[in-house]
A and B are shown apart, each in its own frame.
Chain A
Amino acid sequence: MSDITIYSAKRILTMNRSNPLATHVAVRDGMILGAGALEDLTGWEPYTVDDRFAGKVLMPGMIEGHAHAMEGAVWQDEYVGYYDRVSPDGDSKPGLKSIDEVIDYLSKVDAAMDEPEEALIAWGFDPIYFGGRRMVAADLDRISSTRPILVVHASFHIVNVNTAVLTRANVTAETNVMGIMKDADGKVTGELQGMPARFIVTSAIGREHFVEMGQEGSLWRFARSAQLAGVTTSTDLANDFAEATLANMKKLTSRADYPLRIVPAFLSNTRPPEEGVEMVRRILPESSDKLRFGLVKMVSDGSIQGFTARLMEPGYYNGAPNGLWYIEPDEIPRILNAYHGAGLQVHVHTNGDQATDVVLDAMEDALREFPNPDARFTIQHCQMAHESHYRKMARLGVCANLFANHLFYWGDEHYEQTMGPERACRMNATGTAKRLGVPFTIHSDAPITPLAPLFTAWCAVNRTTVSGRVLGEEERISVEDALEAVTLGAAYTLKLDGEIGSIEAGKRADFAVLEDDPLEAGADGLKDVRVWGTVVGGEIFDNAAITGS
């Protein structure tokens, strides 16, 4: 007979509607035997009571329904974003408030590097906060004229480089290529976009930087980043199923000391669907309790702040031309059907309302052709969906994973430039989803924004922008609903709600261990609730082991 441990806690928020609050939880072999008062659990014998969490608050381990394993890869580089951000080592990296601050910081990093030719790579840079001033090669040349320097923007679609990079890639004023920005005098500014950016960077540093996300070190950082935020399960949305990545994921998730369950979604966009179906089917039997295959992701359009999302009338508020499809709209039904018809669950990225509209129609048709009342199609981001879309989603059983963090980080831009007041106020309409019974969760899209579901919950509860504006009071949800969204809500979209997402008998012993009570912290304090660590399948992970404090 295996050991039974009964943990006592200050309070346990179970997310189990029939037993919402408890003080004790009994665990055996990584599984929950029950939650309640001590006397509700002592029938499980023989047990030992463990009081290490007696002063803490437990809730189900949080579940991030839309993040990327790249969250681990980016931290091998230097963070130069505008906001403070916690690294997977627990360091709080201060936000850099001007281009000069970025240059000063990178100069210090440069000085500490031994190899003069080794590339210096930074990420998270966002010039929208710098009043129109863009970074140019000359800024970065102040740091070094020999070392290749790359500053990747927060969107991950733009990169600034120094002259050393341009020289290595033979880029001159005569190079006329879309995506290589030039100033009014025809001089290359050092700001690069798209495929040319990727090509130039690769030729300058001699390797493809961003395919390194599946390395072991990156996967460890991904898991630590999750642990620090109280996350015990995260999607990797999406994954191209490179062999090395899969091998590393299998190896690490089989270790008891790896603190994260990963749900990789197969990225369908780069493969013919028939081939994709085969790839997912082949790997399905290799799923384990901490690594779940079977999910498929499609990407239909671009982003709103990049003006590449596909919008219905009246289009972009500032008059920008309509965005880009990443799949031919007439192809979406065929691809969706191929995966859905093979019995695989499909999540589709849409940002603009036109993309949501087209994708929802395709989902409706797919459900007619291959009826499956529990398909749980999920629309990822789904930022601009109308109330009519939510009504349709409710009828079809389609879930939404809403990008609540956007409200804070880009809400002011949406209000002023992309969507205008009315539509900005109904973006990421968690209130509507709740009211109409659409199963929903909320996400960070880490590393685009920080992996921290309590902050994401705060965004959905308050809908406050950087400037303090409230975007759509009507769409706010309660603290309880937001906490459910980042636990059971996310589990539902992954078809894992029978296993994780609440603290109740028969589920995996995955807990977020908190210093403060989120219900007491309330709407204002939710984002400041301190995370002590996590429990994953009964294994205890103390954040102090990472932060060293």
Chain B
Amino acid sequence: MTQGDDRIPLTVIGGFLGAGKTTLLNRVLSDNHGIRFAVLVNDFGDLPVDTSLVTDHDGETLTFANGCLCCTMGDNLMKTLSDLAMRTEPPEHILIEASGVADPRPILDLGTLHPRLRRDLSLVLVDAETIHDRAEDVRLKETVDRQIAAADVILINKCDVVDEATVAAVRAWLRKRVPDAHIVETMQAAIPLDLVFAGDGSPEPMSRPVAANDHDHVDHGTQFRSVTVVPENPMTRLAIEQWMSVLPPSVLRVKGYIAAENDPGSVFLVQRVGNRLDLSVCPAQGKTPGVVFIGSADLPDADWIGRRCVA
């Protein structure tokens, strides 16, 4: 099911205590999303897991009914991660819960260094209700800055407990600090897991059939959309890079195959998360060209995106 890249994507989830990391991880471990995640946490104690969903408990590892694992990091994250990646049946995606003061980037970098892992996404949750106070707190302001700067995607969470004006103010404030930030608003950290985390190297978001060109898929109840664009002509590396560089911040993730110009036997595997673009060349056989764009509610339609593709 994975094509072109069989490394395990590594995602780090950051944000202060109370921002909603636990809610998000709890959903990963209980929902039926069809992805075998391994979740690394500091402390099982923080996760109010439904014990009826735990099918196996072996010291440092819990196995869940949906096939996901949850492990404690222990005192050696590097080793825990390596052991997971080298399992005979490795997880499809690894999520690491970073503490509120940890910089997600060095953790993600292990995904760059380890041959079995692939750096995917740093997702930072901010609490719409408290982020402003934290950013003003002399003890915390630099930590807030670092967290936000380290995010590929920022989730403004708890949008249901504050009014719209507050959400708008938080969004504007974030936008001012990080002009090209990818910002999404959520309630109870309700993001479509398969969309946000489907970075396993396959061109399609897992378990979610993507229909033909121009189909506009809206995930009701959340603020996520995905569109698919099939470039008309083969493209060069440079042309793809240029296309990706004009996308607005509402595009959170891009993945797919594009026929390579001057090389009919090959396609480019395009993977972009946040502003990080990863382009690799692989054999064209069995790969249907097409690029999926996943984003927040204000994601442009397929036509708009397609028109900016000048092959």
Contacts and interface: CB of A to CB of B under 8 A. Distances in A.
Interface of A: 169-171, 175-179, 194-196, 198-200, 202-203, 208, 211, 240, 267, 270-272, 274-275, 310, 312-313, 321-322, 324-331, 354, 358
Given A325-B101, A358-B139, A195 B107 contact: yes
Interface stretch (B72-80, B197-205, B206-214): B72-80
Nearest to B111: A177
Interface of B: 16-17, 42-46, 72-79, 99-101, 103, 105-107, 109-110, 112-115, 138-140, 142-143
B74 to A, nearest CB: 7
Contact of A196 (B75, B76, B109, B138): B109
A328 B99 contact: yes
A328 B17 contact: yes
Contacts of B138: 312-313, 354
A354 B113 contact: no
Contacts of B114: 199
B2 to A, nearest CB: 21
Given A196-B109, A354-B139, A326 B101 contact: yes
B75 A328 contact: no
B101 A324 contact: yes
A195 B115 contact: no
Contacts of A328: 16-17, 99-101
Nearest to A177: B109
B142 to A, nearest CB: 5
Contacts of B75: 240, 267, 270-271
Contact of A202 (B72, B78, B101, B142): B78
Contacts of B139: 310, 325, 329, 354, 358
Nearest to B140: A329
Query: 4 shortest A-B CB distances, which residue pairs?
Result: A270-B75, A272-B43, A177-B109, A325-B101
Contacts of A240: 75
Nearest to A321: B142
Contacts of B74: 270
21 contacts: A175-B113, A176-B112, A178-B106, A179-B109, A195-B109, A199-B78, A199-B110, A199-B113, A208-B79, A270-B75, A272-B42, A272-B43, A272-B46, A272-B72, A274-B45, A324-B143, A325-B101, A327-B101, A328-B100, A330-B17, A358-B139
Given A175-B112, A272-B45, A328-B16, 7 more contacts: A177-B109, A208-B76, A240-B75, A272-B44, A327-B101, A329-B139, A354-B138
Contact of B110 (A169, A195, A274, A325): A195
Nearest to A326: B101
Nearest to A267: B75
Nearest to B107: A195
A310 B77 CA distance: 25
Looking at A175, A322, A330, which has the most chain B CB atoms within 10 Å of its CB? Answer: A330
Contacts of B99: 327-328
Given A272-B45, A321-B142, A328-B101, A195 B17 contact: no
Nearest to B137: A329
A170 B109 CA distance: 14
A178 B17 contact: no
Given A272-B42, A329-B140, A354-B139, A196 B101 contact: no
Contacts of B109: 177-179, 195-196
Looking at A198, A267, A313, which has the most chain B CB atoms within 10 Å of its CB? Answer: A198
Looking at B101, B115, B140, which has the most chain A CB atoms within 10 Å of its CB? Answer: B101
B78 A195 contact: yes
Contacts of B143: 324-325
Contacts of A171: 113
A77 to B, nearest CB: 21
A240 B75 CA distance: 8
A208 to B, nearest CB: 7
B43 A196 contact: no
A175 B112 CA distance: 8
A320 B101 CA distance: 19
Nearest to A196: B109
B17 A196 contact: no
Contacts of B79: 208
A547 B114 CA distance: 45
B118 to A, nearest CB: 13
B78 A194 contact: no
A195 B106 contact: yes
A330 B113 CA distance: 33
A351 to B, nearest CB: 15
Nearest to A310: B139
Nearest to B109: A177
Nearest to B113: A199
B45 A194 contact: no
Contacts of A358: 139
B113 A196 contact: yes
Contacts of B142: 321-322
B180 to A, nearest CB: 18
A272 B75 CA distance: 11
Contact of B106 (A179, A208, A329): A179
Contacts of A199: 78, 110, 113-114
A208 B44 CA distance: 26
Nearest to B18: A330
B153 to A, nearest CB: 19
Contacts of A194: 106
Given A270-B74, A272-B43, A200 B17 contact: no
Contacts of A176: 112
B106 A200 contact: no
A110 to B, nearest CB: 27
Given A195-B106, A195-B107, A200 B113 contact: yes
A95 to B, nearest CB: 32
B130 to A, nearest CB: 10
A96 to B, nearest CB: 30
A312 B16 CA distance: 21
A271 B77 CA distance: 12
B112 to A, nearest CB: 5
Nearest to B74: A270
Looking at A177, A203, A267, A354, which has the most chain B CB atoms within 10 Å of its CB? Answer: A177
Nearest to A322: B142
Contacts of B17: 328, 330-331
A325 to B, nearest CB: 4
A179 B101 CA distance: 18
